[in-house]
Chain A
Amino acid sequence: METIIESLREFLGFTGFANMTMQHIVMIFIGICFIYLAIKKEWEPLLLIPIGFGMIIGNIPFVSGLNIGIYEEGSVMNILYQGVQKGWYPPLIFLGIGAMTDFSALISQPRLMLIGAAAQFGIFGAYMLAMTLGFTPAEAGAIGIIGGADGPTAIFLSSKLAPELMGAIAVSAYSYMALVPVIQRPIMLMLTSKKERLIRMAPPRPVSQKEKIIFPIAGFILTAMIVPSGMPLLGMLFFGNLLKESGVTRRLAETARGPLIDVVTILIGVTVGCSTQADVFLSWQSVKIFLLGLISFVIATVCGVLFAKFMNLFAREGHKINPLIGNAGVSAVPDSARVSETVGREFDRNNHLLMHAMAPNVAGVIGSAVAAGILLGFLG
């Protein structure tokens, strides 16, 4: 009898209940909040549900040595986490993004690329702030990339520059991407006049198939030649787009934008969520990262909108840009473009800005990949 009681006592010592701390409870609660927001509010459900559930998985307390934790060499979760640590999930996601993105809006109005470039100020604004807060340049670069509003790029760069901060950076990036409508709308309204919000942009010209095929090839060569360190992301993005536009690789394009991106999204979401173990994640540093992430989003939106207004100073009548598409320079595709459309239609129900906003939006994807390449080149 005594042996049985002793065994039970020993077993109880192994359970999650016995090893639970306040930090674990907080993290599990955050994970449940993510799942709630994804289901109830439909904020980025494809990302928040895997991340939220991953947080719960990663914060079930256990006695180390069982080879089950994400940071324990050779465990199943650790093997799946290699894709994040070594940075090979993000390029695969970029392949899928390329295969599902139509660059026509950008090809027909190439001047809108510059708005995508202006929004990258968010990355470098946050970089400078992080430096003044005492982060090292590598850490500051990894934190700054949150302002690119691009989850895979943030994971890719932080895995190279500051792997110890990757959990906080990834969760911060994806959380703010989900909050794009909440963050951007007031800034857009604050920076634009009613007259500007009513600007109707000239319809984009039709784009030929030839241009759509030239775009990924020329786009890749030109950008990768300037920033070779951005090659993994840019290469896969433009390659995916070529699969889509070539017209002869439909099956490959469908796989890239369907099953492949779905599988990688599940793996990246769950493992990033798992990596937020309470003992690693809950710190003042994480709070600072969340704050800097928010500031970088704000700077990116402000710069995008202001740059669109600046471009209007030189634009001829009839070619003016509605500054409400400036927010779409951050690369949260297509959420930020949808915000432009929604806010634009609040003031003129017949003014559809979505098509125009997609141009800076996809330029933002290219811009953030270029920015990541620069940071990696300097700091990696």
Chain B
Amino acid sequence: MADLLTIILATSAKSEMLAQRDPYGFIMTLTAVAVVFSALFILYIFFGILGDIISGKLKKKVSSKVKSTGKTPDADTAAAIAMALQEQNAGEIQAVIALALEEHFGQNVHDQESYIITINRK
């Protein structure tokens, strides 16, 4: 109880002063809102820039990998899917998907395509 009284007495002096200077709390509100926004705005700017730097670096890493191997991991995956679908050869749809994937990602998987779809039914 004694602690409680000490806290009340300590805060009341500051509180009374503020009540006289800013009876409706406008100044306090404007100041506080500005500070909250600034704090989060600074975080926004900082992590925005950090994100750009890191994702930029990631892009660079990916592009350097493309240069060295000649194809991206996505193209590899797409080619694998395409080949698996072609091997399965269960119908026209798979063949079309396979061709589309090859065309979209894997121009470097095959040199030239005849663009003639042939289906060997088993």
Contacts and interface: CB of A to CB of B under 8 A. Distances in A.
Whether both chains belong to one complex is answered with yes
B16 interface: yes
B54 A371 contact: no
Interface in A142-178: 159-164
B contact patch SS? helix
Interface residues of A, number: 56
B43 A128 contact: no
Contacts of B47: 106-107, 110, 211, 215, 218
A71 B1 CA distance: 7
A210 B54 contact: yes
B40 A114 contact: yes
A136 B46 contact: no
B63 interface: no
Interface string A202-243: 000100101100110011001100110000000000000000
Residue with the greatest number of chain B CB neighbours at <10 A, chosen from A113, A128, A163: A113
Nearest to B41: A114
Given A138-B12, A160-B7, A211-B54, A218 B46 contact: yes
A85 B46 contact: no
A107 B47 CA distance: 6
B97 interface: no
B18 A222 contact: no
Contacts of A132: 24
A128 B26 contact: yes
Contacts of B37: 114, 117
Interface in B1-31: 1-4, 7-8, 11-12, 14-16, 18-19, 22-26, 28-29, 31
26 contacts: A73-B1, A86-B3, A111-B48, A113-B44, A120-B33, A120-B36, A123-B32, A128-B26, A128-B29, A137-B15, A138-B14, A163-B8, A164-B8, A205-B51, A211-B50, A211-B51, A211-B54, A226-B38, A227-B35, A366-B43, A370-B36, A378-B31, A378-B32, A379-B11, A379-B15, A380-B14
Interface of B: 1-4, 7-8, 11-12, 14-16, 18-19, 22-26, 28-29, 31-33, 35-48, 50-51, 54-55, 58
